Amino acid sequence: MDSQLVVKRIDRLKEEKNAVIVAHYYQNDEVQEIADVVGDSFALAKYCAQSSKDVIVFCGVHFMAESANILSPDKTVLLPVRDAGCPMADMADAEGLKKLKQQHPKAAVVCYINTSAKVKAESDICCTSSNAVNIVKSLTEDEIIFVPDQNLAGYVEKKIPEKKFIKWPGYCITHHRLTENDVAKARESKPDAVMLVHPECRDEIVREADFTGSTKQIIEYASKSKASEFIVGTEMGILYELKKRNPGKKFYLLSQGLICPNMKKTSVKDVLFALEKMQYRIAVEKDIREKAKKSLDRMLACK
Ligand code: CIZ
Ligand code: SF4
Q: Name the band, by pLDDT with cuts 50, 70 and 90, for residue 303.
A: low
Which atom of ligand 2 lies closest to the CA of 87? 8
pLDDT of 6 higher than 90: yes
Q: 141 CB contacts (<8 Å, ≥6 apart)? A: 106, 107, 108, 163
Determine the pLDDT at residue 156.
98
| Segment 22-50 mean pLDDT | 96
Q: Are 214 and 40 in contact (CB under 8 A)?
A: yes
Give the pocket of ligand 2 (CB within 6 Å).
Answer: 26, 61, 86-88, 114, 172-174, 200, 235, 260, 262-263
Q: Residue 1 Cα, ligand 2 centroid: separation in angstroms?
A: 31
CATH 3.40.50.10800 fits 178-253, yes or no: yes
- The domain ranges of the chain are 3-84+263-284, 88-172+290-301, 178-253
Q: Residue 220 Cα, ligand 1 centroid: separation in angstroms?
A: 14
Q: Are 78 and 56 in contact (CB under 8 A)?
A: yes
214 lines ligand 1 (CB under 6 A): yes
3-class SS at 145? Answer: strand
Find the largest Cα–Cα distance for the chain.
Answer: 59
Q: Residue 87 Cα, ligand 2 centroid: separation in angstroms?
A: 7
What does the radius of gyration of the chain's CA atoms come to, in whole angstroms?
Answer: 19
3-84+263-284: CATH number: 3.40.50.10800
Q: 207 CB contacts (<8 Å, ≥6 apart)? A: none
Q: 167 CB contacts (<8 Å, ≥6 apart)? A: 146, 150, 153, 154, 157
Determine the pLDDT at residue 1.
79
Which atom of ligand 2 lies closest to the CA of 234? 5
pLDDT digits (tens, 9 = 90+) for 43-77: 998 999 999 999 999 999 999 999 999 999 999 99
Query: What is the spatial order of strands in the sheet that 211-212 belongs to?
Result: 211-212, 194-197, 229-233, 250-253
3-class SS at 196? Answer: strand
Helix 3-17 and helix 268-277, axial crossing angle in degrees, nearest 10 = 40
- Per-position b or e across 209-220, b if 16+ CB within 10 A of its CB: bebbbbbbbbbe
Cα angle vertex 55, ends 43, 3, to 5°?
90
Determine the pLDDT at residue 216.
97
For 151-187, the DSSP string reads HHHHHHHHH-TTSEEEE--B--HHHHT--HHHHHHHH
Statement: the pTM of the whole predicted model exceeds 0.85 = yes
Q: Residue 12 Cα, ligand 1 centroid: separation in angstroms?
A: 30
Q: How does DSSP classify residue 19?
A: E
**What's the chain's average pLDDT?**
97
pLDDT digits (tens, 9 = 90+) for 235-286: 999 999 999 999 999 999 999 999 999 999 999 999 999 999 999 999 999 9
Q: Do domains 3-84+263-284 and 178-253 have the same CATH topology?
A: yes
Rounded distance, CA 87 to CA 3, Å? Answer: 31
pLDDT digits (tens, 9 = 90+) for 103-152: 999 999 999 999 999 999 999 999 999 999 999 999 999 999 999 999 99
Q: Name the residue of 113, 156, 263 to mutate for ligand 1: max ligand atoms within 8 A of Cβ.
A: 113
pLDDT of 196 higher than 90: yes
CATH 3.30.70.20 fits 88-172+290-301, yes or no: no
Which atom of ligand 2 lies closest to the CA of 61? 6
- Nearest to residue 175, comparing CAs of 205, 210, 213, 155? 205
Q: How does DSSP classify residue 270?
A: H
41 lines ligand 1 (CB under 6 A): yes
Q: Residue 86 Cα, ligand 2 centroid: separation in angstroms?
A: 5
Determine the pLDDT at residue 155.
98
Q: Residue 156 Cα, ligand 2 centroid: separation in angstroms?
A: 19
Q: How does DSSP classify residue 91?
A: T
